A and B are shown apart, each in its own frame.
Chain A
């Protein structure tokens, strides 16, 4: 074990891991977090806390992680390089570890032109892969960028993202390899809707020997209705929602579309579980955390193992 992360324990034990995403509130309202935490309690191995997702200002990921930790959750601190330079990122990593946080997901982040602060200066001092390496050097060498020694280095279980559906498709596995080489211990993928393409990505990853080196968690997002399916297909960067899926959810009456979306999510989970090299799932129920228990029950993942 490299860290005291519970997620690392679950994955190292070869158990099928379940993580879920939790978006912090657009303000300081603690009760929103408490409510979401309640839906996820006992259902997941770790909770990812998004970092100003889609460049919309929300409660800081670090603060929300600490609050969730206090509520008995195992947080995964999402960190984007869009808003903070290397001084701030490294400082937050020290703070996060001191607060008992042992997992970090290193991301570049959605461009600020998507959010509600379009006039902001995009920082991008580091990219996501450089952040992965930075966190690894902190843990394994006890040093920050530039070589200064750390007094009690943060020991983080290091995550990175992969998008099997983005272009240039031919470079996606090479980029995954680069993230692993930089120090990623686990990978959480973009939402899987196109199972065919995901299967192909995993095949290439296995062939390159990458599934031996890293734990891959397949991203799952339940569709609330046909409108959301179409929106994800056309308006969200890096998303691949096949036409047949849009047809399927459009084909049921409006009142039943949510149930159909949950059914699709549960089916997708069962399908990705059969793919060799998939070590778990990462459930991103966007502002729909209350449905996580139902989705997991339908997928046969009702409870989590004790480790």
Chain B
């Protein structure tokens, strides 16, 4: 899923300054799972904004709505009736959600309430871990299903650097060394010999390095 965090209220407030009415739109998918932009967070943010503007003697109309997926037109269109009566939209979706709203409601200013961080997993309640960079050529099969592109701070493909200590990364002891994880896992699986193979330079053309990516599937087109 996409993991995001809410921006500071001050930054959000600055973006909305001057608009008499704002439609605050949550997204009940990924960003609900990471407790940043779901139903509950949308309600809380709308109330917090009302309060913050109220302290300055301002009272913009703030309406909240939450849709299942901000990145799919069918769901986006479910709020179509609310949009015309608001001067601006504040999205609690990920970056994709914000941009999809702006594409569909092309005459409305749309602002992000979240900082979109990464593709990751919920390790446990309150902890989310990045584990995929979407490089476009999944190599997890070589590495015991631990991604060196994401989990190694230097994206090393041929083994750990000299800065791995006690299973921790030289960048920050809070970061687990991805290569220690790869080695531990392959060792446990009895497949450590896989790592003696030389991995040639990565083809980054399938990653964002090749420009914004797009998938077109004839069999899925209407």
Residue of A nearest to B177 (CB): A167
16 contacts across the A-B interface (CB closer than 8 A): A108-B156, A111-B154, A122-B153, A124-B156, A125-B201, A127-B155, A130-B201, A166-B162, A166-B163, A167-B177, A168-B164, A168-B179, A174-B195, A181-B198, A182-B158, A238-B165
Of B162, B166, B204, which contacts A125 at CB under 8 A?
B204
- Residue B161 at the chain A interface, CB threshold 8 Å: yes
Q: Are A171 and B183 in contact (CB under 8 A)?
A: yes
- Residue B46 at the chain A interface, CB threshold 8 Å: no
Number of interface residues of B (CB under 8 A): 31
- Residue A266 at the chain B interface, CB threshold 8 Å: no
- Residue A139 at the chain B interface, CB threshold 8 Å: no
Interface residues of B (CB under 8 A from A): 153-167, 170-172, 177, 179-180, 183-184, 195-196, 198-202, 204
* Binary B-proximity of A166-201 (CB < 8 A = 1, otherwise 0): 111011001101100110000000100000000000
Q: Are A166 and B156 in contact (CB under 8 A)?
A: no
- Residue A43 at the chain B interface, CB threshold 8 Å: no
Q: Are A237 and B159 in contact (CB under 8 A)?
A: no
- Cα–Cα, bound, A238→B165 (Å): 7
Q: Are A167 and B180 in contact (CB under 8 A)?
A: yes
Q: Are B160 and A130 in contact (CB under 8 A)?
A: no
* Binary B-proximity of A64-84 (CB < 8 A = 1, otherwise 0): 000000000000000000100
Residue of A nearest to B166 (CB): A167
Q: Which residues of A contact B177 (CB under 8 A)?
A: 167
Of A145, A162, A166, A174, which contacts B201 at CB under 8 A?
A145
- Cα–Cα, bound, A114→B161 (Å): 15
Q: Which residues of A contact B183 (CB under 8 A)?
A: 168, 170-171
Q: Which residues of A contact B201 (CB under 8 A)?
A: 86, 125-126, 130, 134, 145
Residue of B nearest to A134 (CB): B201
- Cα–Cα, bound, A177→B193 (Å): 13
User: Chain A's nearest CB lies how many Å from the CB of B204?
Assistant: 7
Q: Are B198 and A166 in contact (CB under 8 A)?
A: no
User: Chain B's nearest CB lies how many Å from the CB of A182?
Assistant: 6
What does DSSP make chain B's interface, helix, strand, loop or mixed? loop
- Residue A129 at the chain B interface, CB threshold 8 Å: yes
- Cα–Cα, bound, A110→B154 (Å): 9
User: Chain B's nearest CB lies how many Å from the CB of A125?
Assistant: 7
User: Chain A's nearest CB lies how many Å from the CB of B173?
Assistant: 10
Q: Are A167 and B153 in contact (CB under 8 A)?
A: no
Q: Are B163 and A237 in contact (CB under 8 A)?
A: yes
- Cα–Cα, bound, A82→B155 (Å): 10
Residue of A nearest to B170 (CB): A237
- Cα–Cα, bound, A129→B156 (Å): 9
Q: Which residues of B contact A124 (CB under 8 A)?
A: 154-156
A:128-174 near B, CB below 8 Å: 128-130, 133-134, 145, 161-163, 166-168, 170-171, 174
Q: Are A82 and B154 in contact (CB under 8 A)?
A: yes
- Cα–Cα, bound, A166→B183 (Å): 14
User: Chain B's nearest CB lies how many Å from the CB of A233?
Assistant: 12
Contact status of A166 and B165, CB under 8 A, knowing A113-B171, A130-B201, A174-B196: yes
User: Chain B's nearest CB lies how many Å from the CB of A126?
Assistant: 5
